[in-house]
Amino acid sequence: MASNVGKMARSIPEETRTRLFLYLRELRCLQKKGICTIPSQRLAEACHVKSSTVRKDLSYFGEFGVRGVGYEVDGLTNELRSILNLDQIVKVALVGVGNLGKALLGFPGLEDEGFKIVAAFDADERKIGQKIDRVTVEDASRMEERIEAQDIRVAIMAVPASEAPAVAQRLAEANVNAILSFAPCELNIPPDIKISCVDLASEMARLVCCV
Amino acid sequence: MASNVGKMARSIPEETRTRLFLYLRELRCLQKKGICTIPSQRLAEACHVKSSTVRKDLSYFGEFGVRGVGYEVDGLTNELRSILNLDQIVKVALVGVGNLGKALLGFPGLEDEGFKIVAAFDADERKIGQKIDRVTVEDASRMEERIEAQDIRVAIMAVPASEAPAVAQRLAEANVNAILSFAPCELNIPPDIKISCVDLASEMARLVCCV
DNA sequence: ATAGGCTTGTGATTGTGATGTCAAGCACTA
DNA sequence: TAGTGCTTGACATCACAATCACAAGCCTAT
């Protein structure tokens, strides 16, 4: 692995980061099919982008291809995993075990890609102690402590919008550095914590809008 | 209402469309607070964008403000609702009533913003006939027929990735013109149908990635 | 009526990402 | 070893969205 992930740093487009994951997903699919080598052209088609885009995206991080041949699937997979910090399983905490939370616990799309919910919290006494998909729901009042003990750095918030800001605050205190929220509202937390907000209503609005 | 939504049409940036919905949400919030007038400056702060961005976004559709004063909250709300096709409740079909589907049926964030799930379908006989949050689960085999009968144009797919392409195909045949999918996979459907794919693994990857 | 203070709407500018293009370079063949 | 064909990597260009900056225009106070 000639990993030159030391070239990195300055201004990688947000879109590039998103695409890198798509490439990785496609590469894993190719691995399963036993394909060893792929040109940018075909990787691009599979991900619905232009081949020059694939090459440019990769070139931000090094030279992974062989001219006249293409990219070695295993090698590039490892490079991308390394770039995206997906070398090992990512431990995730789930806060809020309502319908949405339960759905996330059973959602195969996350675990397949290397994200594993290893702890779940809820404030509702009736839920505490329940075991859902191998994870036992714990008391939300002990959340910070448990997250730190297990060295979890990523959290998914599936709590009502009204609770979201307070929960985010507590997650920040527990030293997580990334939060995925389903509440369409502002979370006033330190800027060094990354937030991603899945805003379903906003997605729906974009779909309906015909402008 | 001096609605000049006839100026519209050519090349509205995708980001503008997304932001218009944020503006609308904020405006409704202002309405509740009884605020009648707001300058672009403050609307911008609430939505975390620049004031010039707000003004430019709105200017694609007309002149809704008053110089020296700002925008009338009620008036702009109506304009945006009109632009975004959110004048009346949007009827939505849900396909797949697993954990995720149930979560969506009970998710207040959708109904609050004018999207109402009026029909739900599943292939599992044990689920058919169940009533969840005022909606009765119907037999997926009759999906196309029921969607057309109720003139539903938007669907949410909460089905396993393996089923997604086939379901999307059937939705296309039922003449829906927009689909929100949670399956991270390609849906080969006519290009006149809008698709939005909520890819949770991809979101997680972006959060974890520190490049 | 007029001046002063705001805020809008818009043309100009800047910044950034997507795309086109092609020399450089590797594998394979003879 | 030289030649052919293919693909990468990088530079140049293009396209578009964000931002700036300011004239135009409304309101209030005097």
pLDDT tens, position by position, B159-177: 999 999 999 999 999 999 9
Considering only the beta carbons, identify the residue of A12, A102, A160 that sits closest to B211: A12
Question: Which residues of chain B have a CB within 8 Å of the CB of A179?
Answer: 207
Question: Which tokens sit at A70?
Answer: 């293409």
Nucleotide closest in space to B65 (CA vs C1'): C8
Structure-derived torsion over alpha carbons of residues B145, B148, B154, B160, reported in degrees to the nearest 10: 10
User: Bridge-partner residues for B194, per DSSP?
Assistant: B178
pLDDT beyond 80 at B189: yes
In chain B, the percentage of residues whose pLDDT exceeds 90 is 89
Q: Give tens-digit pLDDT for A154-188.
A: 999 999 999 999 999 999 999 999 999 999 888 88
**pLDDT confidence tier of residue A6, bands split at 50, 70 and 90:** very low
User: Residue A46 and residue A151: Cα distance in Å, rounded?
Assistant: 36
Domains assigned to chain B: 14-83 (1.10.10.10), 90-204 (3.40.50.720)
Angstrom distance (rounded) from CA B157 to CA B161: 10
Q: Which helix (H) or strand (E) holds B75?
A: helix B73-83
Count other Cβ atoms within 10 Å, centred on residue B210.
12
Set of chain B residues whose Cβ sits within 8 Å of the Cβ of A196: 203, 206-207
Alpha helix locations (H) across B94-185?
Answer: 99-105, 108-112, 143-149, 164-173
B122, β-bridge pairs: B139
Tell me what pLDDT residue B1 has: 35
Helix B14-33 × helix A200-208 angle, to 10°? 120
* Cβ pairs A/B, distance under 8 A: 165
Res. B37: pLDDT tops 90: yes
| Whether residue A2 has pLDDT greater than 70 | no
Length, in residues, of chain B: 211
Q: What pLDDT is stored for residue A1 in this prediction?
A: 35
Contact criterion met (CB < 8 Å) for A84 and B109: no
Which tokens belong to B168? Answer: 């999307």
Write down the mean pLDDT value for chain B. 93
Rounded Cα–Cα distance for residues A33 and A54 (Å): 21
| SS3 per-residue string spanning chain A | CCCCCCCCCCCCCHHHHHHHHHHHHHHHHHHHHCCCEECHHHHHHHHCCCHHHHHHHHHCCCCCEECCCEEEHHHHHHHHHHHCCCCCCEEEEEECCCHHHHHHHCCHHHHHCCEEEEEEEECCCCCCCCEECCEEEEEHHHHHHHHHHCCCCEEEECCCCCCHHHHHHHHHHCCCCEEEECCCCCCCCCCCCEEEECCHHHHHHHHHCCC
- Whether A78 has a pLDDT exceeding 70, the answer reads yes
| Residue among B91, B98, B84 at smallest CA distance from B182 | B98
Q: How many CB atoms lie within 10 A of CB B56?
A: 13
Covered bases, chain D (protein CB within 7 Å): 5-11, 16-21, 24-27
Which nucleotide has the least CA–C1' distance to A62? Answer: D9
- Give residue A7's pLDDT: 37
Please report, rounded to whole angstroms, the spatial distance between the CA atom of protein residue B24 and the C1' atom of nucleotide C9: 20
Closest-CA residue of chain B to A84: B209
| Distance separating alpha carbons of residues A110 and A107, to the nearest angstrom | 6
